[in-house]
Amino acid sequence: MKSSQPMETAFEQALQRELSQADRPLSRDALLRAAALACRTVLDERWAATQAADAVRGAQAPVRRVHYLSMEFLMGRALGNAVAALGLDPQLRASFAAQGQSLPDVLERENDAALGNGGLGRLAACFLDAFAELGLPSFGYGLRYQYGMFAQGIQAGRQVEAPDDWMALGNPWEVLRPEARYTVGFGGRVVVEAGGARRWLPAEQLVAQAWDFIVPAHHSERVSTLRQWQASAAAPIDFAAFSRGDYAGAASHRVAADALNWVLYPDDSTEAGRELRLKQEAFLVSASLQDMMARHLREGGTLDTLGRANAVHLNDTHPALAPAELMRLLLDEHGLAWEAAWAITRQAVSYTNHTLMPEALEAWPVRLFEALLPRHLEIIYEINHRFLQQVRARCPGDDALLARVSLIDEGGTHGGERRVRMAALAVVASHRVNGVAALHSELMVQTIFADYAQLFPERFHNVTNGVTPRRWLQQGNPALGSVLDARIGQGWRQDLSQLAQLKPLAGDAMLAAEFMAVKQANKQRLAALIRRELGLVVNTDSLFDVQIKRIHEYKRQLLNILHVIARYQAIVADPGADWVPRTVILAGKAASAYAMAKSIIQLAHDVGRVVNSDPRVGDKLKLVFLPNYGVSLAETIIPAADLSEQISTAGTEASGTGNMKFALNGALTIGTWDGANIEMAQAMGEQNMFVFGLRTEEVARIKSLGYDPRLYVEGNRQLQAVLDAIAHGDFSGGDAGRYRSLVDKLLGSDPYLLMADFGAYVEAQQQVDALYRDPAAWGQRAVANVAGMGWFSADRTVAEYAERVWSAKSLGDAGLSGGGLG
């Protein structure tokens, strides 16, 4: 795939063309748009070449074209990645310098694409990078959110949400694909036609319009595509209503269509929010599958080869409607018989589960399905009927099993309301189901999917997550990348396993010193950001202790805050002791309706206000909360971290990818034996991590015996003093009621066992202090951490999916026709 002219020439011509059209003098925003559009000129040509190459593969290709469905893609800024991938850094620096601007200043003007929120979306973005790097025929499919989840602000210590209007000045990275438009229906009724065929007559029809976001490879001319769907009303305005002056009524259906693209994860605590969220998921699935089928047929494929030529991968449970929609398209739109349609669906669909939390396994009310997706509900009923017939034949008389595995919850767990179990649908319809870390995959088949794993054990497997080294080391920490280049060469940029060459160098004092010098420079950069954004001066010689992730009780940011309070109280009691200075840095968003998570954010600010202003403490301790966490902020924080907090209750974190990014950048991990922490410890040596706390089997045992958190509090005077301080209002201006519910929950139920793990956590933090007092030893551990991270590349993860899930040979023949058991 060679360009028709040298890339540098094409880029320069495009850049000069854009600059000539901009207002003078040239602003940083104008330079950003010009550079983005110039890069896009080059990438468009690569996109066309990639699609042309993929189109001639055919159904017998060793790896099927992957269609990766995800409600989130947390992309981050695109210009820096494109410039690095295209090798245009020197050229762009020179062009900007001629305009009196610097490349870093211009890059800072780009908004993060608000298309995701947490680790799920960032993993999907890393996969797009790996798809391109590995040359995997693929499309990522998502929604074109206008306002993302929300922009997080802080007022008086409280989280406030506002629209994240990231496209206010346009988005130069996306490409409209006018030819890719599909109709998606909702509501209406199902009618029986002559011959008994069933046909859905939707009451509402929307148009899905494709916009493409192009992601380049760094070591080839391949690109991958994120295709985003924009909803619009299929019908024009109501002209009669407009003519009589009812302008709002004339366009109400257009506003309802627009709402599908406004916000990621609308608050589903209301009926309207639940309806909008289900419509978003159905819209994503229908448009994506129609696009896949149209491409397959356009390229000369036939329906009987659809499943063997195309993989449909569900990134968590949100797109789990895909099997029902694919069956509808095959049955109703293409006239296939049930058995043939089901065989194709089973061949195509695979599913990744990302959580053990039952509340995250979506279960939609049947009445909502009846109202919005009546034909899909019929199909799900039929899938369930055939599936349960096979279960009944295999396990006669086991009615309890039938109730547990049924795709329909008859009301036993939802207050009498019948619901469709979407995770169950994904499992039954998929030929492969995986977790995302070894422990998670093991627990998945022991807990939430235990019955299904007994019925078809060969379907379940593990694929541990990974991150892209291009963004999270090469771009995010170029100084460390240069140190690695000098010691082991540049091969790690394409093959992260080459980091293993650092292992025999871990004891090299000079290398450790180089690592720590890079870390210090990165800490100074972060300290400047903290001062600029918050007006707070932090000591760059202090230990930077970082926890950045979605705010949730199981991730235990609260345990971190309790340790800060304990440390604060100890410093106040003995300010003259030899304290290791520490700056604790938190960032993350709480879901808008998640009251406890928002209370944790407020407590962090209240504690920070007291600690940071106490003259007895000075630089010995600071607590910082950086608002509006996203990829770009992470790219500044992660390279500066000394200590990475990965402290979820054992058995609750599926994998984590933040833990990998931190370790890849030379931060040491303090963490529980949970998620991918375990595999990281095994790769780098457990002695190079600070592991603490109860393990999964101990958590289960304690809960089974009847966990009483008060016993742990009564046995730990330090913990008791911390809770007393919160309860008495020491950090809330004397307002003893502000955190009453938080303290009561810790003392009453403490579902994530903070009280049980607090003592071990404090002891582990003392080990952290002891090591940090020895900079040379700390630096050697940092080198060992990086050396052990070669396996945790998204390239390796995607290669495992390609081999075990998406390759044609992974399908085999068993279980891909007939019913659901396999």
Catalytic residue annotation: 354, 549-550, 555, 657, 661
Here the tokens at position 352 are 């990744």
In sequence order, the 6+-apart residues with CB closer than 8 A to the CB of 724 are: none
CB 582 within 8 A of CB 620: yes
Task: List beta partners, residue 230.
Answer: 209
Strands 668-671, 408-409: pairing kind: unpaired
Mapping DSSP to helix (H, G, I), strand (E, B) and coil, where does residue 153 land?
Answer: strand
Kindly state the DSSP code that residue 138 receives in the 8-state scheme: E
Residue 542 dihedral angles phi and psi, to the nearest 5°: -75, 165
Long-range contacts of 152-160 (CB under 8 A, 24+ apart): 152/589, 152/627, 152/628, 152/629, 153/627, 153/628, 154/601, 154/605, 154/625, 154/627, 157/601, 157/602, 157/605, 157/606, 157/609, 158/598, 158/601, 158/602, 158/605, 159/589, 159/590, 159/598, 159/601, 159/602
Q: From the CB of residue 450, how many other CB atoms can be counted at a distance below 10 Å?
A: 14
CB 17 within 8 A of CB 42: no
Helix axes 595-613, 740-748, angle to 10 degrees: 110
3-state helix, strand, coil in the chain (%, to 5): 55, 15, 30
Tokens 């100074």 identify what position?
A: 524
CB 611 within 8 A of CB 661: no
Compute the distance between CA of residue 613 and CA of residue 645 in angstroms, rounded to an integer. Answer: 24
The C-alpha torsion from 343 through 346 and 347 to 350, rounded to 10°, is 170
User: Could you tell me where the beta strands, DSSP code E, fall in 146-279?
Assistant: 151-155, 158-162, 174-186, 189-192, 198-201, 204-216, 223-233
